[in-house]
Amino acid sequence: MKYCSECGNKVSYYTPEGDNRPRHNCHFCQIIHYSNPNIVAGCLPVYQKNKILLCKRAIEPRRGYWTLPAGYMENNESVEAAALRETREEANAEVNIISLYTLTSIVHASQVQMLFLAELPTPEFSSGIESLDVQLFSFEDIPWNQLAFQTIKNALTFYIEDYKAGKFPLHNVVLKAPPKQLIKP
């Protein structure tokens, strides 16, 4: 950031008095510009409890890799509404949210990802503008080596384990560094 979004004057980057980390500060209008993590909201859509809906990404990062429908939350929407919107946009699917399923702090990317366990009541879906393909996968057919992100691998692994146990608790995960195998496509 070079200029203040409030008044247009140049900003400086330093730790303001009473704070504990550097921020962009405007000397002219005294505004401190905070940069906070982004929230990623999405769904883990399941059909008949043993098939999972995945989307093949049509955009970077990780174009051509499989993921769950998810994306950045917009202003003026709830996390649940964002998850439903992303599922419609990426998979043209309507789902019923069951519960928050994974809460992941992605420290190295300054993101918080919230995935909801969701029921896909009918197998009606198609590729949205951000997806090359959308498919239902049985557990044994999940393309593990072609998953886009560690958070997706985690959520799918949790679901399969929880399905076998018959319980679906909230999973809280902290990722401090990107896994080496997923850094470069």
Per-residue pLDDT band for 180 (boundaries 50, 70, 90) equals low
Same domain for 89 and 158, yes or no, is: yes
Per-residue pLDDT band for 185 (boundaries 50, 70, 90) equals very low
State which residues form the domain around 7: 1-35
Q: How many domains does one find in the chain?
A: 2
Same domain for 61 and 99, yes or no, is: yes
Q: What is the DSSP letter of 24?
A: E
Amino acid identity at 24? H
Question: What mean pLDDT is predicted for residues 135-164?
Answer: 98
Same domain for 108 and 125, yes or no, is: yes
Q: Quick check: helix, strand or coil at residue 130? A: coil
Longest dimension (CA), the chain: 60
- Could you give phi then psi for residue 184, rounded to 5 degrees? -115, 135
Residue 61, class by beta-carbon neighbours within 10 Å (0-12 exposed, 13-18 middle, 19+ buried)?
Answer: exposed
